Structure 1
Amino acid sequence: MDSGISRILVFTKTTGFRHDSIPAGVEAFERLGLEHGFAVEASEGLHSFRKDRLTRYDAVVFLSTSGVVLDEEGREALVEYMDGGGNWLGVHGASTTEYDWPYFGELVGAWFDQHPSIQPAVMKVEDGNHPATAHLGSTWTRTDEWYSFRRNPRADVNVLLSVDESGYEGGTMGADHPIAWCREFSGGRSFYTALGHADEAFEDVLFQQHLLGALNWLGVTTAGVQEPA
């Protein structure tokens, strides 16, 4: 990646369901960039996923993407980017993306299965030392769209947050329901959070800090956040 100021790509292409909160999410990342000294480029174009272009980004964000969003050249570019030490952040609908590409399933950690109606729930903070969760207490209560996944990713990732299904209706994963996690992946790092369904999420200071901490762990140089280990 380029030296100097950090730069991220916020990719928002959808070919399936499109979340109304995508513009609010882009605005939140742009605001965080202004406040914490990193550059943000938002795009839905495949031109961003070319081998000679991805190397300019310290992290690539899939913000509520859905369906098939990359062509074959784009897939190859993303694989090469990650193999070369790239960093990937998936937000909410990102887990509804590229179901027919096994590599992406490994990158995101687990694909979306279903969700109940939007409702409040309590999350357990499983790693209070991570930059994305260190600002929280032992639990975090919020209203969101609680994704269940096709598999439990715990064996392959570091789970940061899990949601208590006994506190809301419609959960299908049982007593162990990860909702945000991270891992070393290929030559780089991968982070996924299922939070971020509605516009209001991106106005929440705690959620903004969650995203900022994720970016920091992914190597994006920011101000006011502990540097990644």
Structure 2
Amino acid sequence: GGGVLVQHAANNAFPGWEAYESMVGLLWRGKDAGYGAYWDEDQGLMRIPPGEDRGAGHGSLHDWQITTRDAEHPVMAGLPTVWMHPYDELYHGQRGPAEEMNVLATTWSDPEFGGTGRHELIVWWRQFGEGKVMTFLPGHLWGGQGDDRALRCVGLRTLLQRSVEWLATGEVTLPVPENFPTEEKAIVIEE
């Protein structure tokens, strides 16, 4: 009955382990490895049948906006509807069972940067037995990359902290910081 946070490339792990794939819901897999999903502005969560469209991938690193899709969820409560996230890898085309997905946030996957031209799911959670599993796709840093703004983003850190608190306690008491990113500007902690 606990909680698990799957962050960025942790969703690439354990191909073929059905329990893990069920926990996470959507993972870095080829197009034949299950359903895909994206967010439609009018219809909400849409599923793509196995074998259709593309599998998992990402375009080039760039700044992108995160859009809140469930403002009532404790993790997202009080956050701006849209806010800027800096220089990160944006996963698209995730595949898996894609069942009972509770979508918290999406991002427009811009074709200009190698994206799909759709709103891709980037934060969601699933019930798994007595527990909860949160998937959080932002937060790429490769050895030697040098530019770590994505991990120093106030928005990313706030979402991670609030997600962990919710997974552990079922509540969120951590406030949204005053220096949270805006729709036009990412806020990065200088270290």
TM-score scaled by length of structure 2:
0.64
What corresponds to 1:146 in structure 2? Answer: 90
Q: Is the 8 A contact 2:27 2:96 kept in 1?
A: no
Larger RCO (alpha carbons 8 Å, 6+ apart):
2
Which of 59, 65, 71 pairs up with 1:128?
Answer: 71
1:186 Cα deviation (Å)?
1.3
1:191 maps to 2:191:
no
Structure 1 residues 136 and 119 mapped into 2: Cα distance closer, same or farther (>3 Å)? Answer: same
Gaps of 5+ in 1: 1-84
Which of 108, 124, 138 pairs up with 2:24?
Answer: 108
Gaps of 5+ in 2: 29-55, 142-147, 176-191
Q: Is the 8 A contact 1:153 1:178 kept in 2?
A: no
**How many residue pairs are counted as aligned between the two chains?**
141
Per-residue CA distance 1:86-145 (angstroms, 9 max, x = gap): 211011111110012121111122112211110122221101222332242111221310
Report the Cα distance in structure 2 between the residues aligned to 1:201 and 1:135, rounded to whole angstroms.
Answer: 21
Q: Is the 8 A contact 1:163 1:177 kept in 2?
A: yes
Per-residue CA distance 1:25-49 (angstroms, 9 max, x = gap): xxxxxxxxxxxxxxxxxxxxxxxxx
What corresponds to 1:215 in structure 2? Answer: 164
Report the Cα distance in structure 2 between the residues aligned to 1:129 and 1:166, rounded to whole angstroms.
Answer: 27
Structure 1 residues 168 and 216 mapped into 2: Cα distance closer, same or farther (>3 Å)? Answer: farther
Structure 1 residues 221 and 109 mapped into 2: Cα distance closer, same or farther (>3 Å)? Answer: closer
What corresponds to 1:171 in structure 2? Answer: 115
1:181 maps to 2:124:
yes
Per-residue CA distance 1:132-171 (angstroms, 9 max, x = gap): 3224211122131000133377652110111112475212
Report the Cα distance in structure 2 between the residues aligned to 1:153 and 1:133, rounded to whole angstroms.
Answer: 24
Coordinate RMSD, CA, aligned: 2.5
Report the Cα distance in structure 2 between the residues aligned to 1:153 and 1:214, rounded to whole angstroms.
Answer: 22
Report the Cα distance in structure 2 between the residues aligned to 1:155 and 1:135, rounded to whole angstroms.
Answer: 27
What corresponds to 2:3 in structure 1? Answer: 87
Give 1 or 2: higher helix fraction: 1
TM-score scaled by length of structure 1:
0.55
One-letter amino acid of the counterpart of residue 185, structure 1: F
Report the Cα distance in structure 1 between the residues aligned to 2:89 and 2:172, rounded to whole angstroms.
Answer: 30
Q: Is the 8 A contact 1:164 1:177 kept in 2?
A: yes
Per-residue CA distance 1:165-203 (angstroms, 9 max, x = gap): 24752123x534111101211111000110111333332
Structure 1 residues 153 and 122 mapped into 2: Cα distance closer, same or farther (>3 Å)? Answer: farther
Q: Is the 8 A contact 1:156 1:183 kept in 2?
A: yes
Q: Is the 8 A contact 1:131 1:225 kept in 2?
A: no
**Equivalence map 1:22-61=2 (5 Å):** none
| Structure 1, 87-96 or 106-115: larger mean CA deviation | 106-115
Structure 1 residues 155 and 106 mapped into 2: Cα distance closer, same or farther (>3 Å)? Answer: closer
